[in-house]
Amino acid sequence: TLITTAFALLLGGNVYAQERGTKEEVVAMVDRAIAHHKKAGSAQALKDFSDKGNAEWHVKDVYLFCYDFKAVNTCHGANEKLIGKDLSELKTPDGQFLIKNMVKIVSEKDAGWIEYEWPHPQTKKVEHKQAYVKRIPGTETFLGSGIYR
């Protein structure tokens, strides 16, 4: 019936909205990831962060990404094929040098937010995204995570 269909669509929209991460969840995940990196060691932590089956590092549509200050990817929770790639020339659909801008943030003030357009890994649509990036203390690398709006 029309009412059942309308209810299913409304419920489906509500479920989808609940699958979106929040700024608070992103900051908490990055902070937990830095603690895990220190405790488990870099090699194990980066492997854990990239493992899509690891529910601790994949919550709703939130995942981690990691880069060194030369813009080489060292972990990626949504696309393991990026690991080891130099992404210094990567531009967003709105024309920003994405990783270079993130490196600038973490090299100047250790942590901060950046806004840009990016394809959502689940919907494949270009959406507005905000990412929180934070330097791993004592290294020239950083962790980040973001939310789609």
pLDDT, tens digit, 9 for 90 and up, residues 56-85: 999 988 999 999 999 999 999 989 999 999
Check residue 47 and give its pLDDT. Answer: 95
pLDDT exceeds cutoff 80 at 114: yes
**Top mean-pLDDT range of 52-56, 107-111, 118-122:** 107-111
For the record, the structure tokens of 66 come out as 């990691």
Q: Which amino acid is at 109?
A: K
| pLDDT bucket at 5, cuts 50 / 70 / 90 | very low
Nearest to 30 by CA among 65, 61, 54, 73: 65
Check residue 9 and give its pLDDT. Answer: 40
How many Å apart are CA 114 and CA 98, to the nearest integer? 9
How many Å apart are CA 20 and CA 62, to the nearest integer? 8
How many Å apart are CA 100 and CA 96, to the nearest integer? 9
Angle at 132 between CA 125 and CA 74, to 5 degrees: 85
Cβ neighbours for 55, distance < 8 A, ≥ 6 positions apart: none
Check residue 61 and give its pLDDT. Answer: 87
Where is pLDDT greater, at 146 or 1? 146
How many Å apart are CA 32 and CA 136, to the nearest integer? 11
The mean predicted confidence, pLDDT, of the chain is 88
Q: Which amino acid is at 41?
A: G
Min mean pLDDT across 5-14, 93-102, 131-140 is at: 5-14
Check residue 51 and give its pLDDT. Answer: 92
Indicate the DSSP class of residue 56.
G
Check residue 4 and give its pLDDT. Answer: 40
